[in-house]
């Protein structure tokens, strides 16, 4: 099946498949994306398919479907408390790129290298640059799904919520707040999507460990940013913080892999 897919022009498959999905999402009664968000997601999905084929596509689709699902956990309660995501969780363009910009850049990097436009020097990059970018790609979505899941589960089911910088109790939904329930759910989510990346052959089993560890580091650093800086700068919106979050996750995973390779060489 995969050989048949790979033999067809990837642009043709990407545009055709995602246009069909866009049409289905457009007429679906339950909106996961705003109209503008649909077109941005369409463009993103085409980019991912063309650069990383169905394997990369599987990872981003898993993130989107699971992330959209967990956003709706306890929605009525969160809306009543005023801590629910806006538009009942429907994603706009800012959400699409806040979550996926880092992953898209990693995918684009793989595409550029595979096209032969840039030929990196292997003496300075061990493991090879494609592997590092693929690890960063999976780690970025592992980080974002962990963050989304931890936040939404914590807001819905967190019994005790603490500010990460002081460990003082704070109301659920407070920027920078963490809970045991949310943290554990976030770890499970990062493991799940990392295994998707492994299952489709983008990373190895050790890469799964790097993704999960990087997601934990980045998610907690994101909470620190939320608790200390987000209220001080108007430009530091949730979407911008999400970009930093996924970037930290991708970089952390790459550095962990690079350090490990350096140690065992």
pLDDT at 122 exceeding the cut of 60 = no
The domain locations on the chain are: 2-264
A 10 A CB-CB count for 18 gives 21
pLDDT band of 234, cuts 50, 70, 90: confident
pLDDT, tens digit (0-9, with 9 covering 90-100), for 71-110: 888 776 766 666 656 656 578 899 999 999 999 999 999 9
Token pair for 261: 């390779």
Q: How is residue 27 annotated by DSSP? A: H
Burial of residue 240 (CB within 10 Å: 0-12, 13-18, 19+) is: middle
How many Å apart are CA 217 and CA 264, to the nearest integer?
23
Tokens of 248: 């930290």
Q: Is the peptide bond before 127 cis (omega within 30 degrees of 0)?
A: yes
* Average pLDDT of the chain, as a whole number: 88
Q: Which of 5-9, 141-145, 181-185, 188-192 has the lowest mean pLDDT?
A: 5-9
Give pLDDT, residue 262. 81
Q: What is the Cα Rg of the chain in Å?
A: 19
β-bridge mates for residue 33, sequence order:
91
Residue 125 confidence (pLDDT) above 60: no
User: How does DSSP classify residue 162?
Assistant: E
169 φ, ψ to 5°?
A: -60, 135
Return the pLDDT at 6: 52
Please give the average per-residue pLDDT across 250-255, as a whole number. Answer: 97
The number of beta carbons lying within 10 Å of the beta carbon of residue 154 is 24
Q: Please list the residues that pair with 177 across neighbouring strands.
A: 163
* pLDDT at res. 62: 97
Question: Nearest Cα to 142, choosing from 102, 90, 172, 109?
Answer: 102
The residue-averaged pLDDT of 242-263 equals 94
Q: Which residue has the higher pLDDT, 38 or 80?
A: 38
Separation of alpha carbons 21 and 212, rounded Å: 30
Least confident of 27-41, 114-128, 214-228, 237-251: 114-128
What's the average model confidence in pLDDT over 50-74? 92
Q: Is 234 helix (H, G, I), strand (E, B) or coil?
A: coil
Count the helices and strands in the chain (H runs, E runs).
Answer: 9, 2
What the block records as the tokens of 128 is: 């090879």
DSSP letter, residue 125: -
Residue with more model confidence, 181 or 159? 181
- Say if residue 37's pLDDT is above 70: yes
How many whole angstroms separate alpha carbon 65 and alpha carbon 45?
13
């Amino acid at each position: 099946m995969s050989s048949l897919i790979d033999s067809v022009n990837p642009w043709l498959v990407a545009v055709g498949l995602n246009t069909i999905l866009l049409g289905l999402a457009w007429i679906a009664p339950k909106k996961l994306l705003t109209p503008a968000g649909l077109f941005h997601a369409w463009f993103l999905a085409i980019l991912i398919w063309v650069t990383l084929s169905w394997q990369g596509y599987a990872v981003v689709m898993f993130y989107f479907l699971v992330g959209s699902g967990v956003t709706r956990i306890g929605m009525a309660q969160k809306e009543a408390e005023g801590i629910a995501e806006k538009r009942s969780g429907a994603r706009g363009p800012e959400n699409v790129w806040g979550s996926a910009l880092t992953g898209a850049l990693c995918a684009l990097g793989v595409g550029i290298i595979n096209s032969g436009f840039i030929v990196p020097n292997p003496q300075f990059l061990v493991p090879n640059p494609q592997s590092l970018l693929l690890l960063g790609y999976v780690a970025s979505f592992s980080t974002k799904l962990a963050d989304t899941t931890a936040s939404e589960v914590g807001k819905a089911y967190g019994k005790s919520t603490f500010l990460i910088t002081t460990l003082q109790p704070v109301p659920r939904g407070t920027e920078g707040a963490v809970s045991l329930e949310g943290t554990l759910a976030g770890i499970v989510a990062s493991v799940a999507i990392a295994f998707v990346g492994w299952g489709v052959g983008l990373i190895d089993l050790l890469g799964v460990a790097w993704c999960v560890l990087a997601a934990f580091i980045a998610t907690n650093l994101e909470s620190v940013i939320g608790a200390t800086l987000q209220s001080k700068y108007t430009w530091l919106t949730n979407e911008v913080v999400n970009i930093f979050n996924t970037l930290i996750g991708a970089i952390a995973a790459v550095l962990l892999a690079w350090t490990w390779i350096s140690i065992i060489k």
